[in-house]
Structure 1
Amino acid sequence: MNEQTSLWQQDYQSADFAELCNALYERELGLLSELALSSAPSIQGRLKSLPHYIKRTAHSMLQVETPLKLDVQNASWSAKQSVQMPLNGQDTESVNKWYISVNLRHGLVVPIATESTILLDSIDRIDFEQQRFRTNLHGWFYFSAMAKNKATGQLLKPNKKVMIAACSGHCWLNTHRSNPMTPSLRELLLSCAINWRNFKQTLAI
C-alpha cells in the first residue's frame, strides 16, 4: 500500500502528470461543450466525475508498460502507422477460434474495426448459454457464429499491430493512410489495461 501511495505521489509531483492532466481536461471540456445535453444535472454529473477519471488515466499512462510512445503534450499514444489497416489473419474462422479459446472475463479489452479505424472496447456481459458476449459500446458478438452478429463494427482478434493501431488512433481513407483520430478518455484508459504479453488477459488499472 505504501509503495502504491508513493507511486501516486510521484506522479502528482511530476511535470508529465500535470501536462497530461491539462491536455485531458482541455480536450474533455471541449467535447462537453459540444454535446447537446438536455439538463444541468447530467452536465454536473459528468463534470463531477471528470477529475477522478483524468487523474486515473494520466497515472496509468505514465505507469503502464507499452510498446507505444507517449505524447505527453497531446495526451495520446503514437506509433508508426502501417500502409493499410492491419487485417491479415482476421478472417471469420480465425477470429472465432481465438475467442473460443479465451477464458472470457468481464473487462477484457477487444478491438473493433470500422470502415476507417480500429476502436478499443471491453466486454461487459457474457452469455455462455447463447455463446455470445456484449461489449460496452458495440453490442453483442456471437463467438461461435459471427454471421449472427448484430453489433456495429467488425470484431477482431487482438495482436500487436491491431492494438497499436487502435491505441494510436490510426485511420485509413480509401485504403490510404489518413490523419489519426484522438482516442477518447475511455479508450485511453482501456489502452492502459492491455496486457501486451498476453492479450487474453487484462492489467489491473
Structure 2
Amino acid sequence: MQISDSQQVNIFSDDLRQLHFAELCNALYERELHSLSQKKFNNISLLQRQIGGLKHHIKRAAYNLLQHQSPLEVDVHNASWQAKQAANCPAKLNETDKTELWFQRPIALGVCAAVYVNELGLEHIELDSIDRIELQTGKIHLNKFGWFTLNGLPENPQSAAQQTQFQLLKPAKNLMLAACCGHSWNHKGRGQPRLLSLRELLLSFSINWKTFR
C-alpha cells in the first residue's frame, strides 16, 4: 500500500512529537527526583505521596510544553522555557503605586503572580499563585511567599540585615518571560538561568499573556 505525501508528513510529525514528549518526561523526572533527593522528610508518607503524584504532573507538564501557545520557546532537552534575557533585572523598573492600582482591580484567586527575589545580590523573578485577597485590609496572600500589601511590599517589613528580599510585582510581559525562563542576574549582569520547579512550570501554563488576570 502506498502512503501519500500528506500521510507521510503526519506520520513523521507524530513520531517527532512522541520523541519530544519522551525527552520532556525524562528531563522532568531527572530534575524532580534530584530535587526530592535533596529534601529532608520527617514523614515518609509525604515523600511517598510526592513520588506517587510525579507521573501525573510530569505528563501534564510535558503535554502542555508541546501544546504551548505563548511568546516563549521550548527547550525540549531541558524541559524549560526559552526567551532572550534582558541585560538587567526588569523588576527594578517596577513602581509600587502602579502595583497597588493593579491589585485593587478584580483578580481571580489562583492567578499566577510574579515575585522579585534578591538573595545576597543574586536576583531572579519567581512564579507564585494568589490564594487570598483582602481589599478591606489592603493585603494579598501568595501560596509560597505569604502576605504582601497591595503595593507589593511584604506585610512584615524587611530589615537591612535580612539576606533575602522579596517584592510582589505588577505583572507585565517582560517580567513573566523572565520568571518563566528562570533568568537570573548578579553584580556582573546576566547569570546562569535557574531551572524552574515542577510547581512553577505548571503555574506558567496558567498565564494569560493578554491580561495576566
Q: Which TM-score applies when normalising by structure 2?
A: 0.82
Which AA in structure 1 matches 2:115? I
Tell whether the 8 Å contact from 1:84 to 1:175 is kept in structure 2 after alignment: no
* 1:102-155, Cα deviation, whole Å (9 max, x unpaired): x12111111000111000001012223323221000001221x55562386101
Distance 1:199 1:93 in 2: 18
Among 168, 173, 196, the alignment partner of 1:183 is 196
Among 44, 48, 62, the alignment partner of 1:44 is 48
Among 152, 156, 167, the alignment partner of 1:150 is 156
Distance 1:68 1:14 in 2: 21
What is the CA distance between 1:68 and its match in structure 2? 0.9
Secondary structure of 1:20's counterpart equals: helix
The alignment covers a number of residue pairs equal to 188
Q: Identify the residue that residue 170 of structure 1 maps to in structure 2.
A: 183
RMSD over equivalenced CA pairs, Å:
2.0
Which AA in structure 1 matches 2:199? R
Gaps of 5+ in 2: 1-13, 158-164
Which AA in structure 1 matches 2:180? C
Structure 1 19/99 Cα, relative in aligned 2: closer, same or farther at 3 Å? Answer: same
Distance 1:121 1:50 in 2: 20
What is the CA distance between 1:189 and its match in structure 2? 0.6
Q: Which TM-score applies when normalising by structure 1?
A: 0.85
Establish whether residue 125 from structure 1 lines up as the match of residue 132 from structure 2: yes
Give 1 or 2 for the bigger CA radius of gyration: 2
* 1:80-104, Cα deviation, whole Å (9 max, x unpaired): 1100001364111111111113x12
Secondary structure of 2:91's counterpart equals: coil
Moved more, 81-90 or 146-155: 146-155
Among 138, 141, 154, the alignment partner of 1:134 is 141
Which AA in structure 2 matches 1:16? H
Gaps of 5+ in 1: 1-9, 201-205
Tell whether the 8 Å contact from 1:123 to 1:134 is kept in structure 2 after alignment: yes
Distance 1:77 1:148 in 2: 28
Among 109, 116, 124, the alignment partner of 1:106 is 109
What is the CA distance between 1:180 and its match in structure 2? 0.6
Structure 1 142/25 Cα, relative in aligned 2: closer, same or farther at 3 Å? Answer: same
Which AA in structure 2 matches 1:54? I
